[in-house]
């Protein structure tokens, strides 16, 4: 067997082993997608409902609550980036980081000092490689976040928001995550979750008119109880959206890698067959030439 044939067969074995790995990751991601989609579907209505409830209380009460009032002379903003713990997910994490860079540049241009809060090892690796400051970090649950994980993140952000800026606190909280729309479409989005923005408008809000509430014992007490749950719900929904998007991106990326590996195997197989045929042709030519030489020498 020629040396070139051995090279091609070695490459075929290597690509085939890689295809087995990517195929396994594709099947695992596909098997987890159903549960991830169900969790997003179950979480989104609650997050939207509590957002509407908080908006109704904030707009109808007219009180100045710390979590709904924009800080005077705001100078520090937190940016929560939700990335993945593992690779093989295409551009999932890089898209979030790109949006985070864009938001950071915009906030700094507006005079803010930006404090990054990172979820996921990919985001941590990105910031550590560039030797950037990280205000806080979480990892190990990007594919299957629990409400306890969201509460841990939310409690940290709320505590920083309630801390005076001079003591290291923050004035705004933004979250950058990937919104799951379908198996084929996932879009990175930016949301400001605190302080809440109360806008006067004559247009009907999305989801229908906001209900009118009576507050007992008072609107401030209701907001004290609702706003932490609101932040937890929004962070939890963002984590679930990110988990579903990560699995969809990994399934799509691994399927593409598997298909490319199969095409590469076919290409190497054709090249190996061509090299083997060339070796056989050369051997036949050498045999025929040797036979002709022997025949010529015998006739002399």
pLDDT tens for 5-39 read 888 888 889 999 989 998 998 888 888 888 888 88
Residue 12 lies in a domain: no
Could you tell me the residue range of the domain that residue 115 belongs to? 21-199+213-254
Q: Are 258 and 22 in contact (CB under 8 A)?
A: yes
pLDDT for res 88: 85
pLDDT tens for 99-112 read 999 999 999 999 99
Average pLDDT of the segment spanning 148-158: 93
Q: Regarding predicted confidence, which is higher, 99 or 281?
A: 99
In terms of phi and psi (left: phi > 0; alpha: psi -120 to 50; beta: otherwise), the region of 111 is left
Average pLDDT of the segment spanning 172-182: 92
Distance of alpha carbon 19 from alpha carbon 260, whole angstroms: 9
Query: In percent, how much of the chain has pLDDT > 90?
Result: 37
**In 3D, which of 101, 95, 114, 252 has the Cα closest to residue 188?**
95
Residue 136 lies in a domain: yes
- What confidence category does residue 141 fall into, taking pLDDT thresholds of 50, 70 and 90? very high
Residue 25 lies in a domain: yes
| pTM score of the predicted model | 0.81
Q: Regarding predicted confidence, which is higher, 195 or 175?
A: 175
Phi first, then psi, for residue 190 (nearest 5°) are -120, 130
Counted domains in the chain: 1
- What confidence category does residue 243 fall into, taking pLDDT thresholds of 50, 70 and 90? very high
Q: Are 103 and 190 in contact (CB under 8 A)?
A: yes
Residue 133 lies in a domain: yes
Residue 11 lies in a domain: no
CATH number for the domain harbouring residue 112: 3.40.1380.10
Task: Find tokens 């719900």 and name the residue.
Answer: 233
- What confidence category does residue 53 fall into, taking pLDDT thresholds of 50, 70 and 90? confident
Highest mean pLDDT range out of 57-61, 149-153, 215-219?
A: 149-153
pLDDT for res 211: 59
Whether 244 shows a pLDDT value over 90: the answer reads yes
- What confidence category does residue 201 fall into, taking pLDDT thresholds of 50, 70 and 90? very low
Residue 1 lies in a domain: no
Residue 75 lies in a domain: yes
Residue 287 lies in a domain: no
Q: Residues 210, 216, 219, 223: is their CA dihedral positive or negative?
A: negative
Distance of alpha carbon 140 from alpha carbon 207, whole angstroms: 35
What is the CB neighbour count within 10 angstroms for residue 31? 11
Query: What is the average pLDDT value for the chain, to the nearest integer?
Result: 84
pLDDT for res 37: 87
């Amino acid at each position: 067997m020629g040396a070139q044939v051995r090279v091609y067969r070695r490459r075929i074995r290597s690509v085939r082993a890689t295809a087995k790995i990517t195929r396994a990751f594709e099947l695992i991601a596909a098997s987890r997608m159903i549960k991830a989609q169900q969790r997003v579907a179950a979480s989104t209505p609650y997050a939207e409902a509590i957002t509407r409830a908080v908006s109704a209380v904030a707009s109808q009460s007219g009180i100045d609550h710390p979590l709904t009032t924009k800080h005077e002379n705001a100078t520090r903003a937190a940016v929560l980036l939700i990335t993945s713990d593992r690779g093989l997910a295409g551009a999932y994490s890089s898209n979030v980081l790109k949006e985070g860079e864009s938001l950071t540049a915009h906030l700094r241009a507006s005079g803010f000092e930006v404090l990054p809060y990172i979820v996921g090892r990919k985001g941590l690796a990105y910031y550590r490689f560039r030797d950037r400051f990280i205000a806080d970090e979480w990892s190990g649950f990007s594919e299957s976040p629990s409400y306890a994980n969201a509460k841990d993140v939310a409690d940290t952000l709320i505590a920083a928001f309630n801390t005076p800026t001079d003591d290291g606190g923050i004035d705004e909280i933004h979250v950058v995550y990937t919104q799951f729309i379908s198996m084929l479409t996932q879009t990175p989005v930016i949301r400001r979750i605190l302080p809440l923005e109360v806008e006067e408008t004559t247009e009907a809000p999305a989801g229908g008119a906001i209900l009118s509430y009576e507050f007992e014992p008072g609107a401030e007490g209701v907001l004290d109880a609702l706003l932490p749950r609101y932040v937890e719900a929004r962070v939890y929904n963002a984590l679930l959206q990110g988990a579903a998007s990560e699995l969809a991106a990994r399934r799509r990326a691994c399927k593409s890698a598997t298909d490319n590996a199969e095409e590469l195997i076919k290409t190497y197989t054709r090249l190996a067959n061509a090299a083997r045929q060339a070796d056989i042709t050369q051997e036949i030519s050498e045999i025929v030439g040797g036979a002709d030489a022997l025949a010529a020498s015998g006739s002399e």
